Amino acid sequence: MQAVSAFTGSYTRAGLALADGDASFFGFEASMIGAFIGGSCISALINPRPKPWQLGPTYGPTFIIGSILLAISSTLASTHPEDKSLFYFASAANGLQNGMTSMYSANLIRTSHLTGTSTDIGLIIGQMLRGNFANSFKLGVLVSLAVSFWAGSLTSFYAVSKFRGFALIFNAAFFFLIGIGCVVFVILTNKITVWQAVTGKWHWSRALNALDVTQDALENDGACMGMFDRLDVDGDGFLEADELHLALKTSGMRISKKGIKALIAVGDTDGDGKISRDEWFELMQGNLSGTIESSV
């Protein structure tokens, strides 16, 4: 039996195999670990600056990629069960999933193994017994996570018994539905196109269109920084959420406070919640070239 989610055992077995001189098994376990790390890396590459408890515009496409990885693993398990790469694809999907939930929950939630979850449940219960209820809200989340993990195990038993290798298709479909749900949520919330929601580049392209910024202005350093100065109403050298919201609202663009936060997050490389002149220049020149809609 080979685990594709919890890797404490894989690290242990890899070490034992290395000590025993079993290069083949060591290579397999090391590849499993690498695939899991690779999946986590993919989630971060697509979502480089996540904000805790905020649904990012590219979360949906990331889960869709996870569904593709699981679908490939399921297909290999059914058609080529001896092919070890089926484990690598499943492991990468688990790493991606675990990375997504870790980024979204500020490392509160790990979905692929329950050691940390069980520890946290015990800690919170102990704190509550001594009258500290500060983290009590987390208990419901963690217990629900543990129960859902059990439910998933129970479901997988019957699914594997009936569908064998194709059982992973259910996981792939679930991932796909989560991804599509995230994309639809972004579309409906921000009134954008499917392409803009999938690529995650809708925020600033819409904003610059509303502000009547042309591609020529982006390519002109003086015009680019002049626009920053106009938006920086208080003249402190930083573009805050309120200033950006006011400018876009005045231009007739409807955008929620969450949308404004998402705009700021794209260019806020140092995480201080606002955009400096240097960050603005990098954002305009480095990230937006070619993303302004053709109607400008």
Inside any domain, residue 80: yes
Q: What is the largest CA-CA distance in the chain?
A: 70
Same domain, 222 and 103: no
- Domain of 231, in residue numbers: 201-287
Instruction: Quote the mean pLDDT of the chain.
Output: 81
pLDDT, position 187 = 79
Number of domains in the chain: 2
Tens of pLDDT, residue by residue over 218-257, are 667 777 788 888 888 888 889 888 888 888 777 766 666 7
Q: What is the CATH number of the domain that holds 211?
A: 1.10.238.10
Which pTM does this prediction carry?
Answer: 0.67
Inside any domain, residue 295: no
Tens of pLDDT, residue by residue over 160-174, are 888 887 888 999 999
Inside any domain, residue 167: yes
Taking a C-beta distance cutoff of 8 angstroms, is the pair 200, 266 a contact?
no
Mean pLDDT by 10 residues, the chain (296 residues): 69 92 93 94 86 76 94 92 91 91 76 80 95 89 88 88 86 93 81 68 61 63 80 87 81 68 75 85 60 34
Q: Residue 116: which residues within 8 A CB-CB, separation 6 or more?
A: 110
